[in-house]
């Protein structure tokens, strides 16, 4: 990986205090290089959004609290900044795109005014100049007839076009890093593909780094160079997307891939859900947090918490199969998933 733009080390985030505290993010470390898209993927409640939002203290505090860690962006630790310094980073060096653009846009301002306001907030541009740049930004995200559409209100746009407006706003301050939290989840499959194409285009043309938070491995396979798989507050597998999709190491990643609909040679649909549900973080399972759902669990998994095993400079997984413990005594959880990992998944929503 090239010189990282963002380096997060040992990040731990808790909700609540004392005995009732829930550790939503547990000693998480990762890096995002300039000009790359890193996918942070996991089921609902895995801690992926809490990880991203805590970087700029966007979680409500209380109850959320960063207990430990650092997050260096261009040499400055975001977690150590004062509130006023942090405000400059939010929507400045770091842009945001969220799942639901309608609730993020002001319904009584035109989209052009909103993008122009974001530009004026982070630059010294005057009103007219900011308007011209807003129109340019809308044009850059492929809003057709941008000079005219800039005068329209959010309700006059489709869901996909509203998400384009949100991306234009996020880019207004010329950020180095874009945090995109489930940016395509609310969109239908065709529009989803268009927004993913747009993000890829912006990454390449503007040299943006993108941290893409999603529950959808199909989305990750479309746009990400690197992948972090989260489960119960921990990163359980990491690696380049191409390698992770063709040879997943962690049984959870294998289960996620097996749960994606795919077309086989006979045009049949394969879909195998991971058994059970994610654990409660207020009382996580002992040992490996995935053991109650893991088809490969053995006795040691109940008692020993796995540490990360490094396979190469870019690949790692947190699983006792690769270090410590003896996989002799199977716990009897039925096998799920396929052992064929020959190709990246197709976008699952094609089949929904």
The contact set with ligand SF4 (CB under 6 A) reads 250-251, 288, 290-291, 294, 296-297, 301, 306, 319-321
Residue 305 C-beta: closest distance to ligand SF4, Å: 9
Residue 246 C-beta: closest distance to ligand SF4, Å: 19
Contact 257, 245 (CB under 8 A): yes
Residue 9 C-beta: closest distance to ligand SF4, Å: 24
140 vs 249, which CB is nearer to ligand SF4? Answer: 249
* Concatenated DSSP letters of 164-184: HHHHHHHHTT--SEEEEESTT
d(CA 153, CA 192): 22
Q: Are strands 37-41 and 226-231 parallel, antiparallel or unpaired?
A: parallel
- Alpha helices (runs of H) in the chain, residue ranges in sequence order: 48-54, 83-89, 101-104, 111-122, 127-140, 146-149, 159-171, 189-206, 217-223, 241-246, 251-258
Name the DSSP letter for residue 52: H
119 vs 297, which CB is nearer to ligand SF4? Answer: 297
45 vs 160, which CB is nearer to ligand SF4? Answer: 45
28 vs 111, which CB is nearer to ligand SF4? Answer: 28
Residue 294 C-beta: closest distance to ligand SF4, Å: 3
Angle at which helices 159-171 and 127-140 pack, to 10 degrees? 130
212 vs 236, which CB is nearer to ligand SF4? Answer: 236
113 vs 305, which CB is nearer to ligand SF4? Answer: 305
Which residues does 339 contact at the CB level (< 8 Å), separation at least 6? none
45 vs 251, which CB is nearer to ligand SF4? Answer: 251
Burial (CB count within 10 angstroms: exposed 0-12, middle 13-18, buried 19+), residue 189: middle
Residue 39 C-beta: closest distance to ligand SF4, Å: 20
Residue 40 C-beta: closest distance to ligand SF4, Å: 19
245 vs 298, which CB is nearer to ligand SF4? Answer: 298
Residue 43 C-beta: closest distance to ligand SF4, Å: 15
d(CA 245, CA 315): 12
Burial (CB count within 10 angstroms: exposed 0-12, middle 13-18, buried 19+), residue 217: buried
Number of H-type helices and E-type strands within the chain: 11, 14
d(CA 219, CA 211): 13
Residue 338 C-beta: closest distance to ligand SF4, Å: 17
342 CB-side CA count, 13 A: 5
Distances in Å between the alpha carbon of 114 and those of 2, 102, 130, 141, 162? 35, 13, 10, 15, 12
């Amino acid at each position: 990986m090239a010189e990282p733009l963002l380096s997060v080390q040992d990040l731990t985030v808790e909700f609540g205090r004392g005995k009732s505290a829930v550790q939503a993010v547990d000693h998480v470390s990762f890096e995002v290089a300039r000009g790359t898209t890193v996918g942070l993927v996991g089921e609902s409640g895995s801690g992926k959004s809490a990880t991203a939002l805590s970087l700029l203290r966007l979680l409500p505090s209380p109850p959320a609290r960063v207990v430990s860690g650092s997050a260096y962006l261009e040499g400055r630790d975001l977690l150590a900044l004062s509130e006023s310094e942090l405000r400059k980073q939010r929507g400045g060096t770091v842009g945001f795109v969220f799942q639901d653009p309608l609730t993020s846009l002001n319904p009584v301002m035109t989209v052009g005014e909103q993008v122009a306001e974001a530009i004026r907030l982070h630059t010294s541009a005057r009103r007219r100049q900011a308007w011209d740049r807003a129109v340019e930004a809308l044009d850059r995200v492929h809003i057709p007839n941008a000079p005219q559409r800039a005068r329209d209100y959010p309700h006059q746009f489709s869901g996909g076009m509203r998400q384009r407006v949100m991306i234009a706003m996020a880019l207004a301050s010329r950020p180095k890093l874009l945090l995109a939290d489930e940016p395509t989840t609310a969109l239908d499959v065709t529009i989803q593909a268009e927004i993913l194409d747009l993000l890829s285009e912006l990454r390449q043309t503007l040299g943006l780094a993108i941290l893409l938070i999603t529950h959808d491995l199909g989305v990750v396979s479309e746009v990400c160079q690197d992948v972090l798989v989260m489960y119960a507050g921990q990163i359980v597998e990491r690696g380049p997307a191409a390698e992770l999709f063709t040879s997943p190491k962690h049984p959870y990643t294998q289960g996620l891939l097996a749960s994606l609909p795919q077309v086989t040679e006979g045009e049949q649909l394969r879909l195998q859900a991971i058994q059970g549900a994610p654990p409660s973080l207020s009382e996580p399972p002992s040992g490996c947090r995935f053991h109650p759902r893991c088809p490969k669990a053995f006795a040691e998994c109940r008692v020993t918490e796995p540490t990360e095993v490094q396979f190469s400079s870019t690949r790692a997984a947190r699983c006792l199969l690769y270090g410590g413990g003896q996989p002799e005594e199977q716990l009897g959880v039925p096998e799920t998933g396929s052992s064929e990992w020959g190709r990246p998944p197709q976008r699952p929503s094609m089949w929904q």
